[in-house]
Amino acid sequence: MQLPKNEQDFLRDLVKASRQRPNPVSWVDRDGTARITALLPAEMSRLDRLARQVGLSKSAVLEQASFLPAKPSSSRP
């Protein structure tokens, strides 16, 4: 396949992610909606580290994160 390197990297990452077992985390969104977020092992490890750091469960960290303001858009006119 003749694709630019960044596109090849993107596709490699997709294939790699699809081969990994997702880890579901159940939590409640700020509007009360029950959510399940599937995390890759690296994401789960990072969330687990964050949860230990702040002394909360992984679910509680995601619940509190739902109140964070949206990330600013980087689009330029």
Of 51, 23, 50, nearest in space to 37 by CA? 23
Distance spanning both ends of the chain, measured CA to CA: 34
pTM: 0.73
In three-state secondary structure terms, 66 is coil
Which tens digits make up the pLDDT trace of 3-18? 999 999 999 988 988 8
Which tens digits make up the pLDDT trace of 14-66? 898 888 889 999 999 999 999 999 998 989 999 999 999 999 999 999 999 99
Q: What is the pLDDT of residue 18?
A: 85
Sign of CA dihedral 17, 19, 20, 25: positive
**Sequence ranges of the domains in the chain:** 20-65
Q: What is the mean pLDDT of residues 61-75?
A: 90
Q: What is the pLDDT of residue 76?
A: 59
Tokens 């992984």 -> residue: 58
